[in-house]
Amino acid sequence: MNHEKIYEDLQPQLAALEDLRSECRRKSKVAYYFFAGAILTVAGFHYFLGSETAKPWTFLGVVLFVIGGAIYAKQVKRYETEVKRQIIPVIVGTISPGVNYDGAHHVEETEYNNSRLFPRADRYRGEDLLHGKLGATDFKISEIHTQRRRKTKNKTKYTTLFKGVFMVADFHKHFNGRTQVLPDTAERLFGHFLGRKMQKTGRQGMELVELEDVDFEKEFAVYSSDQTEARYILSTSLMRRILQLKQSWDSNIYLSFSDGKIYLAIRTTKDFFKVNFYKPITVQKIWVYLEELLACLDMIEELNLNLRIWSKE
């Protein structure tokens, strides 16, 4: 699909969005008065009262600043929501009619927990959900960001467990156990011999599976509840495909197979379908959206999940 054609078809929506953007930008300028007010309050009181007596008034400055920030953020959000509601679904619809886009939602936390790839999260957020059916495969893909709460003496800190793209899809072969493919950090850090010894300790009741593909073994460590089933899932061709996927994203990837599903997590800090509040949507921007969308949907093709030659339909 040609991005220029999509851009032309979207003209009415784009014009309306451009009006909305100018309106939001105009309204967001109210925030500047608050920012200016905040600076003047703090500076003025310091000047007239001296820094000691002015301290309580600093608080007022902070309040004004926060209000200004909230006004600004509200307008940015308003515009962003509309772009995600009006533009992205149209692009998605033109390239694959069975797929839906929902900017405000994400892959559910239960799916994330079922994958057992990462520890349970205290804070779970996400956006840009793509879901539906591509070929014969039901799937959900979204960005997610999960964090764990850490309490120190007087502060609560959040540390990231996972940030990136998370996919859950129907797997094309029947299986019963649990198999995980993880980045081989032990072997990379401690070398072949020691790394192997460390991996052998196992993970969540699963044992290490040593596979024949040397390149694959270098990048990943595979754990499974069933040695033969792990090899049934990870056919020689799927191992190659996983390696290719890793190369094309150039980041750490994690896979989990359980309950007839495949879970795929790609660590990345990239923000998909980003909306620029300061510039109108150009034809290049449509191209970027299209590329990002294809990168996500291609994962299903790259893993060959639509190949249905086994008894599962």
The footprint of another protein (CB under 8 A) covers: 173-174, 210-212, 227-232, 235, 309-311
253, 240, 244: which is closest to 214 by C-alpha? 240
Q: How far is the CB of 10 from another protein (least distance, A)?
A: 43
Q: CB-wise, 76 or 136, nearer to another protein?
A: 136
Q: CB-wise, 210 or 259, nearer to another protein?
A: 210
Q: Where are the alpha helices (DSSP H) in 87-219?
A: 88-95, 109-115, 185-199, 214-219
Q: How far is the CB of 16 from another protein (least distance, A)?
A: 50
Q: How far is the CB of 184 from another protein (least distance, A)?
A: 17
List strands edge to edge, sheet with 220-224. 99-102, 123-134, 137-151, 156-170, 261-267, 253-258, 179-183, 220-224, 207-209
Q: CB-wise, 5 or 192, nearer to another protein?
A: 192
Q: How far is the CB of 238 from another protein (least distance, A)?
A: 11
Q: How far is the CB of 234 from another protein (least distance, A)?
A: 9
What DSSP element (H or E) covers 212?
A: none
Q: CB-wise, 97 or 202, nearer to another protein?
A: 202
Q: CB-wise, 81 or 228, nearer to another protein?
A: 228
Report yes or no: 129 and 107 within 8 Å, Cβ to Cβ: yes
